[in-house]
C-alpha cells in the first residue's frame, strides 16, 4: 500500500516559524494515531517501582531471570546546562562552530546551553541499557516548537542505544499539540517507532471533566479545542490520567498522555498505566530523568 514519505527533520536555527509549523503539519500527516505494534500493555507491565534512593539500578544486558523476549520500552528525558556564557577564556574546545552571532539579544538570554539527553531501555521490569548524549542547543524554547530544540538531542541519545526499542516513552506531548505534532510525534515518526508522550502540564485541548481532586487510575479524555488547528474541535487527542494519589489527600495533578506515533489515544493510557508503579511518573520516565541528572552531575563543571 502507498506510504507517505517520511518528512525530514531539520532543526536548523535559521528555519522560519512558518517552515517549522509547516514541517509539523507534515509530521502529523505521517503519524498514525492507531495501534500498530505487536504486543499488549501487559507485556510491558512494571509491577515494582525501582528504588532510586541508593542510586540507579545496574543495567543487566544479559537478562538474568527476566524474559529476553519481552518488548523493550525506552524512556527518554533531558536535563540542561544553562547560563553557559561564551566569555570564559579557555573554554573547552568542544565549542560549536557558531554560524555568526548567537541569537542573544535584548533580553539577555543566550542559546549557549547544552542538553543532556538520556535514554533508558527496560525489558520485563529490568534495566538492560543506559545511553546518553550531550548536545549544544541552538534554538530557544517556544511553546509548540519544543521538538526543534530538544528533538535532535533526543535522537542522539537514541542513536547511542544498542538495543532496538519497541516503544518510546517521551517527556512532553504527542498528539496534544497545536498541530498534533508534539515532540513524541516527531521522534516516533522520524524513527517510525511506536511512541507516546507524557506531560505534566496541558499544552492545549480541554479535559471532558474537571481534573481536580481525582483518585488514582482516574482518567478523562482531552478534546481538541479551537487552539488545535489540525483537528475538528471535540476530537479526542489524548487523556488526563491520574497515575497516583496520596491516600488521604487529593492534591496531585494528573499526567497528560497522548499518542506519539502508531498508538491510539485509548491505548496510550493503558501503556502508561502499565509502566506506572506507584509514582506519579511512569518508571521509564523516572529512570530517564534520574539518568539525565546523573550524567549532568558527572559533567565537568559541577562537583
Partner DNA sequence: GCGACAG
Partner DNA sequence: ATCTTGTCGC
Retrieve residue 109's grid coordinates.
538570554
Q: Report the SS3 class of residue 271.
A: helix
**What minimum distance in Å lies between the beta carbon of 80 and DNA?**
4
Q: Rule CB under 7 A: is residue 141 a binding residue for DNA?
A: yes
Residue 82: how many other CB atoms lie within 10 Å: 11
Looking at the DSSP bridge assignments, the partners of residue 195 are 168, 261
299 lines the binding site for DNA (CB under 7 A): no
- Burial grade of 285 (CB within 10 A; 0-12, 13-18, 19 or more): buried
Q: Which stretch binds DNA (CB under 7 A): 100-108, 197-205, 233-241, 267-275?
A: 197-205
Separation between Cα atoms, residue 261 and residue 195, nearest integer Å:
5
> Max Cα separation, the chain?
58
Using CB under 7 A as the binding rule, the residues of this chain from 232 to 251 that contact DNA are 247-249
Q: Which stretch binds DNA (CB under 7 A): 43-51, 86-94, 122-130, 178-186?
A: 178-186
Binding string, residues 57-86; x marks residues near DNA by CB under 7 A: --------------------xxxx-x----
DSSP single-letter state for residue 44 = G
If the CB atoms of residues 47 and 248 are measured against DNA, the closer one turns out to be: 248
Q: How many residues does the chain have?
A: 303
Strand partners, 198: 171, 257
Q: Is the CB of 100 or the CB of 143 nearer to DNA?
A: 143
77 belongs to an annotated ligand binding site = yes
Residue 120 binds to DNA (criterion: CB under 7 A): no
Report the C-alpha gap between 260 and 169 in whole angstroms: 9
Identify which range of 25-33, 63-71, 124-132, 196-204 contacts DNA by CB under 7 A. Answer: 196-204
Residue ranges in 144-163 that form contacts with DNA under rule CB under 7 A:
144-147
Residues 6 or more apart whose CB falls under 8 angstroms from that of 222 comprise 176, 202, 205, 206, 207, 208, 236, 237, 238, 239, 240, 256, 258
**How far is the C-alpha of 53 from the C-alpha of 21, rounded, in Å?**
42
Give just the sign of the alpha carbon dihedral 201, 120, 155, 191.
negative
- Closer residue to DNA in complex, CB, 111/124: 111
Among residues 270 and 289, whose Cβ is nearest to DNA?
A: 289
39 versus 244: smaller Cβ distance to DNA:
244
The interaxial angle of helices 183-191 and 146-159, nearest 10 deg, is 40
Q: How far is the CB of 172 from DNA (least distance, A)?
A: 3
Would you say 141 or 192 has its CB closer to DNA?
141
Count interface residues toward DNA (CB under 7 A). 31
Q: How far is the CB of 67 from DNA (least distance, A)?
A: 31
Going by C-beta distance under 8 Å and a sequence separation of 6 or more, which residues neighbour residue 182? Answer: 146, 147, 172, 173, 174, 175, 176, 197, 199, 203, 258, 260
- Residue 77 vs 129, nearer CB to DNA: 77
* Of the residues 45, 59, 160, 202, which one makes contact with DNA according to CB under 7 A: 202
CB of 53 to DNA, least distance (A): 15
Interacting residues toward DNA by CB under 7 A? 77-80, 82, 141, 143-147, 171-173, 177, 182-184, 197, 199-204, 227, 247-249, 293, 296
Per the annotation, binding residues for Mg(2+) are 77, 171
Amino acid at each position: 500500500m502507498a506510504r507517505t514519505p517520511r518528512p525530514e527533520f531539520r532543526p536548523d536555527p535559521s528555519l522560519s516559524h512558518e517552515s517549522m509549523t509547516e514541517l509539523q503539519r507534515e509530521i502529523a500527516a505521517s503519524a498514525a494515531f492507531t495501534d500498530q505494534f505487536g504486543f499488549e500493555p501487559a507485556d510491558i507491565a512494571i509491577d515494582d517501582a525501582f528504588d532510586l534512593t541508593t542510586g540507579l539500578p545496574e543495567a543487566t544486558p544479559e537478562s538474568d531471570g527476566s524474559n529476553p523476549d519481552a518488548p523493550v520500552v525506552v524512556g527518554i528525558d533531558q536535563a540542561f546546562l544553562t547560563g553557559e556564557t561564551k566569555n570564559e577564556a579557555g573554554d573547552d574546545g568542544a565549542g560549536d562552530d557558531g554560524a555568526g552571532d548567537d541569537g542573544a539579544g535584548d533580553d539577555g538570554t543566550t542559546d549557549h546551553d547544552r542538553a543532556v539527553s538520556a535514554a533508558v531501555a527496560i525489558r520485563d521490569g529490568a534495566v538492560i541499557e543506559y545511553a546518553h548524549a550531550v548536545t549544544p542547543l541552538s534554538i530557544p524554547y517556544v511553546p509548540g516548537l519544543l521538538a526543534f530544540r530538544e528533538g535532535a538531542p533526543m535522537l542522539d541519545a537514541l542513536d547511542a542505544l544498542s538495543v532496538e526499542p519497541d516503544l518510546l516513552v517521551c517527556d512532553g506531548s504527542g498528539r496534544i499539540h497545536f498541530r498534533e505534532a508534539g515532540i513524541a510525534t516527531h521522534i516516533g515518526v522520524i524513527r517510525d517507532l511506536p511512541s507516546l508522550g507524557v506531560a505534566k502540564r496541558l499544552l492545549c485541548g480541554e479535559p471532558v471533566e474537571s481534573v481536580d481532586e481525582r483518585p488514582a487510575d482516574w482518567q478523562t479524555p482531552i478534546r481538541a479545542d479551537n487552539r488545535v488547528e489540525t483537528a475538528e474541535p471535540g476530537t479526542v487527542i489524548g487523556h488526563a490520567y491520574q497515575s497516583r494519589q496520596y491516600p488521604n489527600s487529593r492534591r496531585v495533578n494528573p499526567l497528560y498522555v497522548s499518542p506519539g506515533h502508531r498508538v491510539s489515544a485509548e491505548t496510550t493510557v493503558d501503556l502508561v498505566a502499565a509502566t506506572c508503579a506507584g509514582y506519579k511518573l511512569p518508571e521509564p520516565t523516572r529512570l530517564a530523568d534520574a539518568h539525565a541528572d546523573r550524567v549532568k552531575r558527572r559533567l565537568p563543571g559541577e562537583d
